[in-house]
Amino acid sequence: MITVNSRFLVLLAASGSLALLAGAFVFQAFGFAPCELCLLQRWPHAAAILIGGLVLLTGWRNLAWAGALAALTTAALGLYHTGVERGFWIGPTACSSSPVEGLSSDELMSQILNAPLVRCNEVVWSLFGLSMASWNAVLSLLLVLIWVMAARRD
């Protein structure tokens, strides 16, 4: 039986966040500009990478719980974003399409001029029916499990 120590699991989890963050930047380089919610999902990955580095440098295995929390945070943001994309709930007004009924011409013009280039409620890319936000949520939940295994490993 192969045993995996906590250092390897921390390295795996932090590398997973690094890969997801790098993937987001690659998509951006290919012209898929991020929306406001996409940008928010990146910060917990950056935190998880830093936490992983701290755990590896100091050996403080209990910090792996903070890594799990960071991964859980980005997973929750990804699930929220997925719900916005699928119309389950309304997203932030700053980056979601809103109805135009009942607006004066000045209000409508202001809404058009102040609209962000990328809307949070529009899917710009998907694979197997899952958007980037959905993939972030699924893969980040897997990272949560790895972080928890690292924190609990002897």
The number of CA neighbours under 13 Å toward the Cβ of 146 is 23
H-run or E-run covering 131: strand 130-131
Give me the residues paired with residue 130 across strands: 127
Task: Tell me the pLDDT tens digit for each residue of 8-43.
Answer: 999 999 999 999 999 999 999 998 888 889 999 999
pTM: predicted TM-score of the whole model, two decimal places: 0.81
Pick the more confident residue, 83 or 123: 83
For the cut 60, the answer to whether the pLDDT of residue 90 exceeds it is yes
38 contact partners, CB below 8 Å, separation of at least 6: 24, 81, 118, 120, 132, 133
What confidence score (pLDDT) does residue 154 get? 66
Mean pLDDT over 1-7 rounds to: 76
Structural domains in the chain, sorted by start: 6-152 (1.20.1550.10)
**For residue range 58-69, what is the model confidence (pLDDT) as tens digits?**
989 899 999 999
Of the candidates 31, 60, 65, 32, which has an alpha carbon nearest to the alpha carbon of residue 47? 65
In one-letter notation, the amino acid at residue 48 is A
The string of pLDDT tens digits covering residues 105-153 is 676 566 656 655 677 777 787 779 889 899 999 999 999 999 999 999 8
